[in-house]
């Protein structure tokens, strides 16, 4: 089968289209015929082994390969079809259209991926193409996790810092569906996309500082690495809730102090990426509450270009790789 492989950590050019052995599913595994995979920030970070939060470096390096990557095929988030099921697997049938997360197992940059059936995999929304569906799990699972933690009520004011990214753009839609008034912070080129997603207010971080605008919020959701914790706290109303997905060690310590000594609640979390959450997302998509935001779909041979676009943020929405022959993935629903 064809797969995008990498044999060493490095720039986008380390990604190579290669012929590799097709995986065989174990007794409790699914063989997925991958039709589309999102090129994510996490894929780029793993490829180059550069992380915005430094303390991730050592535990991840031990997990994924100290001198070179142990798993040669990247790709954590995908949409495709079930090609085969192991003998102990229940709940899936060959031919089912699915989407989901491969977790650290990865492998979605290959035409076939063998994944444990307990991975976060669910029926693909029937109203999305494979490319659109592949762009949902990363942003959607993480955003849903944080928006639920925030316990957003009708009328809450929510500031989303980094709203134009994969997670932020889904958080915008989920917070709106929960009845929040949403203020999005990102750069001007993402304003139009965010307005289409239903934001109430937009702040261009290259021109304005949200902490100096005299407004306060019930919830601050911060997805920007190395943002100012002090600024986020300053714009929280009394009793307000703060969530970050990029916990530096100093921020982790400060959340403890905030919770102990102030009337505000601060929290860092790692999304669990559960099947229940993915199924909730599917339902929200089919109910028209969430749309997929795809900037462009590239053939798998252009994986290096896809990574460059993601790394340099030359995108308005997800960059998706079409896996397999292009004519096989077009207009598939
Ligand atoms: N905790 C968890 O479970 C978890 C899970 C997955 C990911 N993460 C982390 O969460 C972060 C967000 O992930 P993502 O996939 O959504 O990333 P992303 O797609 O890169 O989104 C980040 C967004 O923030 C914008 N931005 C950059 N600097 C900013 C600033 N100073 N103020 C406001 N916006 C700014 C970026 O735009 P420009 O760069 O174009 O300005 C981009 O639109 C990543 O750092 C990732 O490592 C956490």
Mean pLDDT calculated for residue range 319-327: 85
Per-residue pLDDT tens for 190-228? 999 999 999 999 999 999 999 999 999 999 999 998 899
Q: What is the CATH number of domain 138-268?
A: 3.40.50.720
195-198, Cβ contacts within 8 angstroms, sequence gap of 24 or more: 197/169, 197/172, 197/173, 197/291, 197/293, 198/172, 198/173
Q: pLDDT tens for residues 240-259?
A: 999 998 888 899 999 999 99
Distance 319 CA to ligand 1 centre (A): 15
Rounded to the nearest whole angstrom, what is the distance from the C-alpha of residue 28 to the centroid of ligand 1? 35
| Ligand 1 atom nearest 168 alpha carbon | 16
Q: Please determine, for residue 84, whether its predicted confidence score (pLDDT) is greater than 50.
A: yes
Q: How far is CA 231 from CA 167, 180, 226, 234, 254, in A?
A: 21, 21, 12, 5, 13
CA of 165 to the centre of ligand 1 (A): 5
**More confident site: 56 or 164:** 164
The verdict on the CB of residue 205 being under 6 Å from ligand 1 is: yes
Contact (CB, 8 A) for 280 and 286: no
CA 31 remoteness from chain centre = 22
* Band (330; pLDDT cuts 50, 70, 90): very low
Mean pLDDT of 129-156: 96
Q: First vs last Cα of the chain: how many Å apart? A: 23
Q: Compute the average pLDDT of residues 149-160.
A: 96
Quick check: CB of 166 below 6 Å from ligand 1? Answer: yes
Query: Is the CB–ligand 1 distance for residue 223 below 6 Å?
Result: yes
Element (H, E) at 4: strand 2-5
Task: Find the mean pLDDT for residues 118-145.
Answer: 97
Domain regions of the chain by residue span: 2-136+292-329, 138-268
Banded pLDDT at 326 (limits 50, 70, 90): low
What's the rounded mean pLDDT across residues 250-275?
93
Coil, strand or helix at 325: coil
Would the pLDDT of 328 be above 60? no
Rounded distance between C-alpha atoms, residue 82 and residue 119, angstroms: 13
Which of the listed residues 41, 228, 314 should we mutate to test ligand 1's pocket, taking the one with most ligand atoms within 8 A of CB? 41
In angstroms, what is the span from residue 162 Cα to ligand 1's centroid? 5
How do residues 21-38 score in pLDDT, each as one tens digit?
999 999 999 999 999 999
Residue 5 CA to ligand 1 center (angstroms) comes to 25
Pocket test for ligand 1, best of 77, 223, 229, 235 (most atoms within 8 A of CB): 223
Look-up: residue for tokens 């940059």? 109
Q: How far apart are CA 275 and CA 91, in angstroms?
A: 12
The response to whether residue 209 sits with its C-beta less than 6 Å from ligand 1 reads no
Alpha helices in 50-129 (DSSP H): 57-64
pLDDT > 70: percent of the chain: 97
| Beta-strand runs (E) in 154-310 | 157-161, 181-186, 201-204, 217-222, 236-244, 265-268, 294-299
| pLDDT score at 331 | 44
Which residue has better confidence, 47 or 58? 47
- The atom number, within ligand 1, closest to the CA of 164 reads 43
Tell me which CATH code domain 2-136+292-329 carries. 3.90.180.10
- Band of residue 172 on the pLDDT scale cut at 50, 70, 90: very high
The Å distance, Cα 289 to ligand 1 centre, comes to 22
Nearest CA to ligand 1 atom 35: 162
Residue 246, ligand 1, Cβ within 6 A:
yes
Q: How confident is the model at residue 148 (pLDDT cuts 50, 70, 90)?
A: very high
Given a cut of 60, whether residue 327 has pLDDT beyond it is no
Substitution site in 160, 167, 293 for ligand 1 pocket (most atoms within 8 Å of beta carbon): 167
Distance of CA 302 from the midpoint of ligand 1 (Å): 23
Please state the atom number of ligand 1 nearest to the C-alpha of residue 268: 1
CA–CA dist 323, 155 (Å, integer):
42
For the CA of 41, the closest atom of ligand 1 is 15
Give the whole-angstrom CA distance, residue 323 versus residue 316.
21
Cα gap 101→120, rounded to integer Å: 5
Q: Which atom of ligand 1 is nearest to the CA of 270?
A: 3
pLDDT in tens, 86-124: 999 999 999 999 999 999 899 999 999 999 999 999 999
67 pLDDT higher than 90:
no
């Amino acid at each position: 089968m064809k797969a995008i492989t990498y044999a060493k950590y490095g720039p986008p050019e380390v990604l190579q289209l290669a012929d590799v052995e097709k995986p065989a599913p174990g007794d409790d595994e699914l063989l997925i015929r991958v039709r589309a995979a999102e090129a994510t920030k996490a894929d780029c970070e793993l490829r180059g082994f550069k992380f915005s939060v430094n303390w991730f470096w050592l535990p991840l390096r031990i997990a994924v390969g100290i001198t070179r990557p142990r798993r040669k095929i990247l790709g954590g988030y995908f949409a495709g079809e079930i090609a085969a099921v192991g003998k102990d697997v229940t709940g899936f049938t060959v031919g089912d259209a699915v989407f989901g997360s491969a977790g650290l197992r990865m492998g979605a940059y290959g035409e076939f991926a063998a994944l444990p059936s307990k991975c976060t995999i669910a029926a693909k929304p029937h109203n999305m193409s494979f490319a659109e569906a592949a762009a949902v799990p990363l942003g959607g699972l993480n955003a849903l996790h944080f928006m639920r933690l925030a316990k957003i009520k009708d009328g809450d004011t929510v500031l989303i810092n980094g709203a134009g990214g994969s997670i932020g753009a889904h958080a915008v839609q989920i917070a709106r569906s929960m009845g929040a008034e949403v203020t999005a912070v990102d750069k001007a080129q993402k304003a139009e996309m965010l307005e289409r997603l239903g934001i109430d207010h937009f702040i261009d971080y290259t021109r304005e500082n949200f902490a100096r605008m005299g407004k306060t919020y019930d919830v601050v959701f911060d997805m920007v690495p190395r943002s100012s914790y002090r600024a986020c706290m300053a714009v929280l109303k009394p009793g307000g809730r703060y969530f970050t997905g990029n916990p530096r060690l100093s921020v982790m310590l400060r959340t403890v102090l905030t919770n102990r000594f102030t009337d505000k609640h601060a929290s860092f979390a790692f999304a669990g990426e559960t099947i229940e959450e993915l199924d909730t997302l599917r339902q929200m998509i089919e109910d028209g509450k969430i749309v997929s935001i795809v900037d462009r779909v590239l053939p798998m041979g252009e994986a290096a270009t896809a990574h460059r676009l993601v790394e340099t943020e030359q995108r308005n929405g997800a960059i998706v790789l079409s896996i397999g022959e292009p004519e096989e993935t077009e207009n598939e629903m």
